[in-house]
Amino acid sequence: MSRELNLTLQIWRQEGPHDDGHFETYAATGISEDMSFLEMLDIVNEGLIQDGNVPIEFDHDCREGICGTCSLMINGQAHGQEKATTTCQLHMRKFNDGDTIVVEPFRARAFPVVRDLVVDRSAFDRIIEAGGYISVNTGAASDANLTPVPKEASDTSFDAAACIGCGACVAACPNSAAQLFTSAKLAHLNLIPQGQPQRFERTESMVETMESFFGSCTNHGECHEACPKEISLDFIAFMNRDYVKAKVKNRKLAGQT
Protein backbone atom coordinates (compact mmCIF):
# COMPACT_ATOMS: atom_id res chain seq x y z
CA MET A 1 0.00 0.00 0.00
CA SER A 2 2.71 2.46 0.90
CA ARG A 3 5.26 3.59 -1.63
CA GLU A 4 8.76 2.18 -1.52
CA LEU A 5 11.84 4.24 -2.20
CA ASN A 6 15.31 3.36 -3.40
CA LEU A 7 17.82 5.95 -2.40
CA THR A 8 21.51 6.69 -2.64
CA LEU A 9 23.02 8.06 0.54
CA GLN A 10 26.25 9.94 0.84
CA ILE A 11 27.11 9.81 4.50
CA TRP A 12 29.94 11.39 6.43
CA ARG A 13 32.10 8.83 8.22
CA GLN A 14 34.72 9.84 10.74
CA GLU A 15 36.48 7.66 13.30
CA GLY A 16 36.94 10.23 16.02
CA PRO A 17 37.43 13.93 16.77
CA HIS A 18 41.02 13.93 15.59
CA ASP A 19 40.65 11.79 12.51
CA ASP A 20 39.96 12.87 8.97
CA GLY A 21 36.52 12.11 7.73
CA HIS A 22 35.19 11.24 4.33
CA PHE A 23 31.96 10.51 2.52
CA GLU A 24 30.80 6.99 1.90
CA THR A 25 28.06 6.06 -0.49
CA TYR A 26 25.37 3.61 0.58
CA ALA A 27 22.29 2.31 -1.14
CA ALA A 28 19.06 2.31 0.83
CA THR A 29 16.61 0.07 -0.94
CA GLY A 30 12.99 -0.78 -0.30
CA ILE A 31 12.49 2.07 2.14
CA SER A 32 8.86 2.49 3.11
CA GLU A 33 7.60 6.03 2.82
CA ASP A 34 6.09 5.74 6.29
CA MET A 35 9.49 5.45 7.90
CA SER A 36 11.15 8.33 9.62
CA PHE A 37 14.55 9.42 8.39
CA LEU A 38 16.20 7.81 11.40
CA GLU A 39 14.39 4.52 10.83
CA MET A 40 15.75 4.60 7.29
CA LEU A 41 19.23 4.94 8.81
CA ASP A 42 18.39 2.05 11.16
CA ILE A 43 17.72 -0.10 8.10
CA VAL A 44 20.99 0.94 6.50
CA ASN A 45 22.78 0.09 9.74
CA GLU A 46 21.03 -3.25 9.96
CA GLY A 47 22.38 -4.03 6.50
CA LEU A 48 25.87 -2.90 7.47
CA ILE A 49 25.84 -5.13 10.54
CA GLN A 50 24.64 -8.09 8.48
CA ASP A 51 27.67 -7.64 6.28
CA GLY A 52 29.96 -7.27 9.28
CA ASN A 53 30.58 -3.56 8.69
CA VAL A 54 30.65 -0.89 11.35
CA PRO A 55 27.27 0.83 11.52
CA ILE A 56 26.87 4.58 11.20
CA GLU A 57 26.71 6.42 14.51
CA PHE A 58 24.13 9.16 14.81
CA ASP A 59 22.55 10.94 17.75
CA HIS A 60 18.93 10.24 18.55
CA ASP A 61 16.76 9.43 21.51
CA CYS A 62 13.12 10.34 22.02
CA ARG A 63 12.19 10.19 18.32
CA GLU A 64 9.23 12.42 18.93
CA GLY A 65 10.83 15.79 18.33
CA ILE A 66 11.28 17.05 21.86
CA CYS A 67 14.59 15.89 23.36
CA GLY A 68 16.80 17.71 20.84
CA THR A 69 19.26 14.85 20.55
CA CYS A 70 18.95 14.17 16.84
CA SER A 71 20.74 16.41 14.42
CA LEU A 72 22.01 15.86 10.84
CA MET A 73 22.44 18.18 7.90
CA ILE A 74 20.31 16.57 5.22
CA ASN A 75 21.04 17.90 1.75
CA GLY A 76 22.49 21.03 3.27
CA GLN A 77 19.54 21.73 5.54
CA ALA A 78 19.62 21.28 9.31
CA HIS A 79 17.04 18.58 10.15
CA GLY A 80 16.18 18.37 6.45
CA GLN A 81 14.02 20.56 4.32
CA GLU A 82 10.77 20.30 6.28
CA LYS A 83 10.03 23.41 8.28
CA ALA A 84 9.60 23.15 12.03
CA THR A 85 10.53 19.47 12.02
CA THR A 86 13.34 17.56 13.69
CA THR A 87 15.13 14.80 11.82
CA CYS A 88 13.32 12.13 13.85
CA GLN A 89 9.99 13.51 12.69
CA LEU A 90 11.05 13.85 9.08
CA HIS A 91 9.40 11.07 7.13
CA MET A 92 10.59 9.43 3.96
CA ARG A 93 7.45 10.35 2.07
CA LYS A 94 9.04 13.76 1.69
CA PHE A 95 11.65 12.22 -0.59
CA ASN A 96 11.40 10.80 -4.08
CA ASP A 97 12.41 7.45 -5.41
CA GLY A 98 15.94 7.61 -6.79
CA ASP A 99 17.00 10.64 -4.74
CA THR A 100 20.57 11.07 -3.64
CA ILE A 101 20.70 12.34 -0.08
CA VAL A 102 23.81 13.87 1.45
CA VAL A 103 23.97 13.45 5.22
CA GLU A 104 26.54 15.40 7.22
CA PRO A 105 27.02 16.20 10.89
CA PHE A 106 26.15 19.61 12.30
CA ARG A 107 29.34 21.55 11.86
CA ALA A 108 30.95 24.29 13.91
CA ARG A 109 34.28 24.49 15.62
CA ALA A 110 32.52 24.35 18.97
CA PHE A 111 30.73 21.16 17.84
CA PRO A 112 33.59 18.74 17.23
CA VAL A 113 32.62 15.48 15.58
CA VAL A 114 32.68 12.66 18.12
CA ARG A 115 32.18 9.97 15.53
CA ASP A 116 30.47 9.84 12.13
CA LEU A 117 27.39 12.02 12.47
CA VAL A 118 27.61 12.49 16.23
CA VAL A 119 28.87 15.87 17.44
CA ASP A 120 29.65 17.25 20.88
CA ARG A 121 27.28 20.09 21.74
CA SER A 122 28.42 20.57 25.31
CA ALA A 123 29.29 24.21 24.62
CA PHE A 124 25.54 24.78 24.98
CA ASP A 125 25.71 23.42 28.53
CA ARG A 126 28.55 25.82 29.26
CA ILE A 127 26.35 28.72 28.15
CA ILE A 128 23.53 27.60 30.45
CA GLU A 129 25.98 27.12 33.31
CA ALA A 130 27.10 30.72 32.80
CA GLY A 131 23.75 31.99 33.95
CA GLY A 132 20.85 30.26 32.25
CA TYR A 133 18.97 29.75 35.50
CA ILE A 134 17.19 31.54 38.27
CA SER A 135 19.02 31.10 41.54
CA VAL A 136 16.40 29.73 43.84
CA ASN A 137 17.50 26.99 46.13
CA THR A 138 15.13 24.13 46.72
CA GLY A 139 12.64 25.01 49.37
CA ALA A 140 13.21 28.76 49.19
CA ALA A 141 10.26 29.48 46.95
CA SER A 142 7.17 31.25 48.18
CA ASP A 143 3.69 30.32 47.04
CA ALA A 144 3.60 30.27 43.26
CA ASN A 145 0.64 32.63 42.97
CA LEU A 146 2.34 35.33 45.05
CA THR A 147 4.19 36.30 41.87
CA PRO A 148 1.63 36.97 39.18
CA VAL A 149 3.12 36.77 35.71
CA PRO A 150 1.28 38.67 32.97
CA LYS A 151 -0.09 36.13 30.53
CA GLU A 152 1.53 37.86 27.56
CA ALA A 153 4.95 37.77 29.23
CA SER A 154 4.43 34.17 30.21
CA ASP A 155 3.39 33.18 26.69
CA THR A 156 6.30 34.96 25.03
CA SER A 157 8.66 33.51 27.60
CA PHE A 158 7.30 30.10 26.68
CA ASP A 159 7.84 30.73 22.97
CA ALA A 160 11.52 31.18 23.82
CA ALA A 161 11.65 28.32 26.33
CA ALA A 162 10.41 25.93 23.64
CA CYS A 163 14.04 25.67 22.44
CA ILE A 164 15.17 22.05 22.51
CA GLY A 165 18.89 22.82 22.36
CA CYS A 166 19.51 20.73 19.23
CA GLY A 167 22.07 23.09 17.70
CA ALA A 168 20.39 23.42 14.30
CA CYS A 169 20.74 27.21 14.59
CA VAL A 170 24.51 26.94 14.86
CA ALA A 171 24.67 24.35 12.12
CA ALA A 172 22.64 26.45 9.72
CA CYS A 173 24.49 29.68 10.50
CA PRO A 174 27.19 30.60 7.99
CA ASN A 175 29.02 32.19 10.93
CA SER A 176 28.53 29.27 13.34
CA ALA A 177 26.91 31.68 15.76
CA ALA A 178 24.76 30.56 18.68
CA GLN A 179 22.74 33.73 19.00
CA LEU A 180 19.36 32.06 18.62
CA PHE A 181 20.00 29.43 21.29
CA THR A 182 21.45 31.92 23.78
CA SER A 183 18.84 34.56 23.18
CA ALA A 184 16.05 32.02 23.58
CA LYS A 185 17.25 31.06 27.03
CA LEU A 186 17.83 34.69 27.96
CA ALA A 187 14.40 35.72 26.77
CA HIS A 188 12.78 32.83 28.61
CA LEU A 189 14.20 34.08 31.90
CA ASN A 190 14.52 37.82 31.26
CA LEU A 191 10.91 38.33 30.25
CA ILE A 192 9.32 37.12 33.47
CA PRO A 193 9.31 38.71 36.92
CA GLN A 194 11.16 35.80 38.54
CA GLY A 195 14.11 36.40 36.24
CA GLN A 196 14.56 40.10 36.94
CA PRO A 197 17.00 40.08 39.87
CA GLN A 198 19.72 38.35 37.83
CA ARG A 199 18.67 39.71 34.46
CA PHE A 200 21.70 41.80 33.58
CA GLU A 201 24.32 39.69 35.28
CA ARG A 202 22.90 36.69 33.45
CA THR A 203 22.87 38.46 30.10
CA GLU A 204 26.46 39.60 30.34
CA SER A 205 27.76 36.27 31.50
CA MET A 206 25.86 34.12 29.01
CA VAL A 207 26.65 36.33 26.05
CA GLU A 208 30.34 36.38 26.85
CA THR A 209 30.42 32.64 27.30
CA MET A 210 28.60 32.24 24.02
CA GLU A 211 31.13 34.46 22.29
CA SER A 212 33.99 32.40 23.62
CA PHE A 213 32.73 29.41 21.66
CA PHE A 214 30.78 30.65 18.69
CA GLY A 215 30.91 33.10 15.80
CA SER A 216 29.16 36.39 15.40
CA CYS A 217 25.69 37.04 14.06
CA THR A 218 25.18 38.78 10.73
CA ASN A 219 21.40 38.82 10.86
CA HIS A 220 20.87 36.38 8.02
CA GLY A 221 17.96 34.64 9.70
CA GLU A 222 19.03 31.13 8.66
CA CYS A 223 18.84 29.99 12.28
CA HIS A 224 15.18 30.78 12.56
CA GLU A 225 14.42 28.92 9.35
CA ALA A 226 16.33 25.86 10.54
CA CYS A 227 14.85 25.91 14.04
CA PRO A 228 12.51 22.96 14.61
CA LYS A 229 10.69 25.03 17.20
CA GLU A 230 10.59 28.21 15.10
CA ILE A 231 12.20 30.41 17.73
CA SER A 232 11.87 34.03 16.64
CA LEU A 233 14.73 36.31 15.60
CA ASP A 234 13.14 38.94 17.81
CA PHE A 235 14.77 37.25 20.78
CA ILE A 236 18.18 37.99 19.28
CA ALA A 237 17.31 41.66 19.08
CA PHE A 238 16.09 41.49 22.66
CA MET A 239 19.41 39.98 23.71
CA ASN A 240 21.40 42.63 21.84
CA ARG A 241 19.48 45.32 23.69
CA ASP A 242 19.79 43.67 27.07
CA TYR A 243 23.50 43.08 26.62
CA VAL A 244 24.42 46.71 26.16
CA LYS A 245 21.99 47.66 28.92
CA ALA A 246 23.77 45.13 31.09
CA LYS A 247 27.14 46.63 30.28
CA VAL A 248 25.89 50.03 31.32
CA LYS A 249 24.20 48.75 34.46
CA ASN A 250 26.77 46.27 35.69
CA ARG A 251 29.34 48.91 36.55
CA LYS A 252 29.84 47.82 40.12
CA LEU A 253 27.97 50.80 41.49
CA ALA A 254 26.61 48.87 44.38
CA GLY A 255 22.91 48.43 44.07
CA GLN A 256 22.45 51.05 41.37
CA THR A 257 21.35 48.82 38.61
Partner 1 sequence: MAAPATSPPGSTPIFRRKWQLPFPLNIYQSSIGRKWVMALTGIGLLGFVVVHMIGNLHIYEGPVQSHEYAESLRSLGGGLMPRTFLLWVLRLGLAGMFVLHIHSAYSLKERSRKASDKADFIGGEKKYHSKRDYVAANYASRTMRWTGPIILLYLLFHLADLTWGWWLGDNYVLGDPYHNVVASLSNLPVAIIYVVANVALVIHIFHGTWSLFQSLGINNPKYNELRRTLAKLVAGVILVGNLSFPVLVQTGLIDDDNRTCDVGDVTCLEHQAEKH
Partner 2 sequence: MAVLDSKIPEGAIEDKWENHKFSVKLVNPNNKRRFEIIVIGTGLAGASAAASLSELGYRVKVFTFHDSPRRAHSIAAQGGINAAKNYTNDGDSVHRLFYDTVKGGDYRSREANVHRLAEVSVNIIDQAAAQGVPFAREYGGMLDNRSFGGAQVSRTFYARGQTGQQLLLGAYQALAKQVAVGNVELHTRTELLDVVLKDGRACGVVTRDLVSGEVSSHSSHAVVLATGGYGNVYYLSTNAMACNVTAAWRAHRKGAYFANACYTQIHPTCIPASDEFQSKLTLMSESLRNDGRIWVPDAFDEERPPDQIPESDRDYYLERKYPAFGNLVPRDVASRNSKTVVDQGKGVGPIKNGVYLDFGAVIERDGEDVVRSKYGNLFDMYERITGENPYKVPMRIYPATHYTMGGTWVDYNLMTTIPGCYAIGEANFSDHGANRLGASALMQGLADGYFVLPYTIGDDLAGRLGEAPVPTDDPVFVEAEAAVTSQVDRFMSIGGTRSVDWFHRELGKIVWDYIGMERTKEGLEKALAEIPALEEEFWKDLCLPGSAATLNSGLEKAGRVADFFELAKLMARDALDREESCGGHFRAEHQTEEGEAKRDDENFAHVAAWEWNGPGSVQTRHQEELTFENVALTQRSYK
The residues binding partner 1 (CB under 8 A) are 10, 12, 17, 20-23, 73, 75-77, 81, 102, 104, 107-112, 114, 119-123, 126, 129-130, 174-177, 207-209, 211-222, 224-226, 232-234, 236-244, 247-248, 251
Taking the C-alpha atoms of residue 213 and residue 243, their distance in angstroms, rounded to an integer, is 17
Indicate whether 150 belongs to the interface with partner 2 (CB under 8 A). Answer: yes
Q: If DSSP codes are grouped into helix, strand and coil, which group holds residue 42?
A: helix
Residues 223-242 that bind partner 2 (CB under 8 A): none
Taking the C-alpha atoms of residue 181 and residue 128, their distance in angstroms, rounded to an integer, is 10
Burial zone of 220 (CB within 10 Å; 0-12 exposed, 13-18 middle, 19+ buried): middle
Residues 80-109 that bind partner 2 (CB under 8 A): 85, 89, 91, 93
Query: Which of residues 188 and 203 has its CB atom nearest to partner 2 in the complex?
Result: 188
E strands, 105-180, in order: 113-115, 118-119
Choose which of 24, 120, 208, 230 interacts with partner 2 (CB under 8 A).
120
Query: Which of residues 19 and 244 has its CB atom nearest to partner 2 in the complex?
Result: 19
Query: Which of residues 142 and 256 has its CB atom nearest to partner 2 in the complex?
Result: 142
Query: Which of residues 113 and 223 has its CB atom nearest to partner 2 in the complex?
Result: 113
Taking the C-alpha atoms of residue 211 and residue 4, their distance in angstroms, rounded to an integer, is 46
The CA distances from residue 35 to 27, 59, 89, in Å, are 16, 17, 9
Q: Choose the contact partner of 216 out of partner 1, partner 2, none; CB within 5 to 8 A by kind.
A: partner 1
